[in-house]
Structure 1
C-alpha cells in the first residue's frame, strides 16, 4: 500500500517475458497488473502502476488469443467427450450442458491435462484456490474438474443474475474485476473469450439438439 511518499520504484511480485509466453496450445499469455489503491480497492489493469506494489496476472486459455486464426464458427466440436460427467454436472447444478462444453472447449480444448503457467488446471482450468473452494481434490480428474468448474459456473450465473456475458467474463477475469468495471472488463483477451464462448455455446446447443 502507498504511503505519504512515492517510492522511486514499485516492487513486483511476479514477472515474465515482455514478449509473453506461448503455451502448448499456442496461446500467448498477456499481462494484467493487480495492485491495491490507497483506499484499499483492488485494481486490475493492463497498465503497469508507477507508484504501487503490484502482481502480474497472466490469463491463458484456448479462446483468449485476440489474434487467433481459428474459425470459431467451424472448429470441430466435442459433443460426446466426457458425456456422463457433463450430464451429471449439468443436472446437479441446473446448467445447460452446452454451456459446460463451451467453457471446457474455450478453456482447454478438452485437454484433461492442461496446465497454464499461472497454475490453472485441467479441463475447466481451475485455479488451485477455486478448486479447493469447489471441493475438488484432483483437478486433473475429469469428473471432479467438470463438477467443480460447473459448480463455479452456477455460482457466477447466480451472482450475475443469469447474464451469460458477465458470467463468462467473470470465469475468465474474475468476478471482482467484472464488478469493478460493472460489465465485461476492457481486456481484449476477456472480450475475445466471451465472444468465442458464446459462439461455441450456440453451436453446442444446436449440435446437442440434433
Structure 2
C-alpha cells in the first residue's frame, strides 16, 4: 500500500528517539514506487511512522487467518525455507519466532529499535552482514543465523536460546545459564515454544 504523503512529510519533535532507535524511512519515487528502509542512504528518505510492538503481544496482531494456516502456507515461507536450509534451524521454529516477534509485520519496530519480521537489533544484524532489516529475506536470514548461534552457545537448549534471543545472550549467561527473571522474557519463551509445538503437531 503506498505511503501517504502526510506520513512522508512528518517532522515532529518526537522523531529524535525514533531515530536513535533505528526508525523506518521512506519515500515514493517519480514512478510511484514506494521505498522503505531502516538505512536512509538516499536524500529523499524521510522518517515515517512505524508500528511499535512488544514481542510477546505481536502474535495477537497477526493478520486474521494467518495463525490458522499450516506453516507451509504462511507469509514469507520461501524465505524461511531458504534460511532454514542455510542454517539448519527448523523452519517451524523460525515461523514460531516470527509469529511472536512481529506477527508477520515486516515493518514492525519495537520501542528499543528491534526491526522487521524477526525483530533484530541493528547491532545484531550487522554481525551477520545485514543492512536493510525491512527486507524480509535479509531479516529472516540474519535472524536464523543468530538463532543458530544461540542454540550452539546453549547446547541446543531451546528455552535458553529463545531467552537469549529475547533478552540477549549475556543476560542468560549472567543469570547462571537460566531464564532471566524478566517478565517479558518469561512470557516470550513459552509463547514461542507453544507456537512451535503447535506447528510440529500440525
Q: TM-score, normalised by structure 1?
A: 0.64
Following superposition of structure 1 onto structure 2, how do residues 166-205 of structure 1 map, counting pairs within 5 Å? 166-182=160-176, 183-205=178-200
- Higher share of residues assigned helix: 2
Residue 128 in structure 1 maps to residue 122 in structure 2: yes
Greater displacement, 119-128 / 76-85: 76-85
State the match for 2:37 in structure 1.
none
Aligned positions of 1:45-60 closer than 5 A: 60=54
Deviations 1:44-88 (A, max 9, x none): xxxxxxxxxxxxxxxx314489xx8xxxxxx53572211111111
**Correspondence for 2:68:** 76
**Mapping 1:93-172, distance limit 5 Å:** 93-172=87-166
Q: What 5-or-longer segments of structure 2 have no aligned partner?
A: 1-16, 18-49, 61-66
- Give the superposed CA RMSD: 2.5
- Checking the alignment, whether the CA contact within 8 Å between 2:133 and 2:139 is kept in structure 1 is yes
Q: Which runs of 5+ in 1 are unaligned?
A: 1-13, 15-22, 28-59, 69-74
Displacement over 3 Å in runs of 4+? 62-65, 75-78
Aligned residues: 147
Greater share of residues in strand? 1
Per-residue CA deviation, residues 13-48 of structure 1 (Å, 9 max, x unaligned), is: x9xxxxxxxx946x5xxxxxxxxxxxxxxxxxxxxx
Task: Tell me how far 1:142 sits from its aligned partner.
Answer: 0.4
